[in-house]
Amino acid sequence: MAVIKKIQDKLSALDYSGMYGDDFFLTWEKTYDEIMATFTVADALRALREAGASPRIFDSGLGISLFRDNSTRTRFSFASACNLLGLAVQDLDEGKSQIAHGETVRETANMVSFMADAIGIRDDMYIGKGNAYMREVSNALKEGYADGNLEQRPTLVNLQCDIDHPTQIMADMNHIIDTFGGVENLKNKKVAMTWAYSPSYGKPLSVPQGIIGLMTRFGMEVVLAHPDGYEVMPEVEEVAKKNAAESGGSYSKTNSMSDAFEGADIVYPKSWAPFKAMEKRTKLYGDGDMDGIDALEKDLLAQNAEHKQWECTEALMKKTNGGEALYMHCLPADISGVSCSEGEVEASVFDRYRVPLYKQASHKPYIIAAMIFLSKIKDPCGKIDELIARGIPRYFG
């Protein structure tokens, strides 16, 4: 358990008291110490599990997941995180609940939470709606707890909204820290967050926004690259500029994928829909204008098709630092010649990075578990000591 002791030493030097009893919405709402505490607890939970020790802090309880968009990795990561800590998981299917009959957010939040300790929500498709909905649920839970309807106040975790994808981006960042041998080695590393062609439309903005919103906090040189017309939310760009100024890094933009890849240490080619188009899409759905939605989809697919050259190729990878930049993707990627005829990345590039990509994804369950752990445990270092001393094996085989 020497590794865990080193992790605890890192944790004890941080001020993360504000996370106790709190939710996790956006990374830039957390202090630098709180972000680092999340990474550190995630590493501790992984180390406990790998050592064969049970990291459970609950004997019973429920984790509730609500996915308003399709998900594989995040859905299973949330379930894995809850199970790791000792919670059972129940997915809330809105179509099979009273929500479909007009039940209010306040009522739903209270009715499902009598024995719930964590709620994870994914609501990423409608600009101005997803994050706002999560905060409405959070406020309803606070009221329910204050009124004595709930014995405990469930922690709410943002599993992806219209603004940020904190569990994904935190997992990405922890993978980068591991790959480069520590956060102290990240200063001035160049990150190319670039748009890439996809034969589908309407992919959320939350991954590129999450990347520029978090990685600018570590003194890195973050470049956002996209064709003209694929802008992200301007307020998130302002966050990135502020973070870069405070950390001694930089934030810049370009309309050239090649320029972004030049000398990059990390590349993240990923498709997303234009901010203005997603705003329009939200309004059309709100108005029930399905003909307008169909027309918008055709326009956006045609717009995407004008930029098929925005593909992560072997030639572009050779332009990176030593030709060996870390290729990253939140998955599933649109792989040219495999999952589609033309897509985000050449098959040969993806295949070379398949193992690192799986390692990148493996951080997410621990990040989610750490978010819940820090919200529920007032003295995390003491609790980790207790888990070690308790000595309950995770596996009885």
Q: What is the pLDDT of residues 315-338, one digit of tens each?
A: 999 999 999 999 999 999 999 999
Residue whose tokens read 């017309």: 229
DSSP state, 340? B
> 116-123 and 221-225: which strand pairing?
unpaired
Backbone angles phi, psi at 254, to 5 degrees: -150, 155
One fold for 60-162 and 168-359: yes
Residue ranges per structural domain of the chain: 60-162, 168-359
Contact 336, 345 (CB under 8 A): yes
- To which H or E segment does residue 363 belong? helix 354-376
Q: In 10 A of CB 219, how many CB atoms?
A: 19
How many residues are present in the chain?
A: 397
Q: Report the pLDDT averaged over residues 229-241.
A: 97
Q: Is the pLDDT of residue 96 over 80?
A: no
| Confidence band of 94 (pLDDT split at 50, 70, 90) | confident
60: left (phi over 0), alpha (psi -120 to 50) or beta: beta
Q: How many whole angstroms separate alpha carbon 273 and alpha carbon 271?
A: 7
CATH tag for 168-359 (out of 3.40.50.1100, 3.40.50.1370, 3.40.1180.10, 3.30.479.30)? 3.40.50.1370
> Mind spelling out the 3-state secondary structure of 186-208?
CCCCEEEEECCCCCCCCCCCHHH
| Confidence band of 188 (pLDDT split at 50, 70, 90) | very high
* pLDDT for residue 201: 86
Contact 396, 27 (CB under 8 A): no
Q: How many whole angstroms separate alpha carbon 183 and alpha carbon 289?
A: 48
Q: Is the pLDDT of residue 101 over 90?
A: no
CA within 13 Å, CB half, 158: 28
Of the candidates 297, 270, 305, the one whose C-alpha atom is nearest the C-alpha of residue 281 is 297
Return the ∠ at Cα 103 (arms to 97 and 109), rounded to 5°: 80
Q: Which one is predicted more confidently, 96 or 270?
A: 270
CATH fold group of domain 60-162: Rossmann fold (3.40.50)
Token reading at 320: 């990176």
**What's the Rg (C-alpha) of the chain?**
21
- List all residues 6 or more positions away from 342 whose beta carbon is below 8 Å from its beta carbon: 197, 199, 308, 311, 336
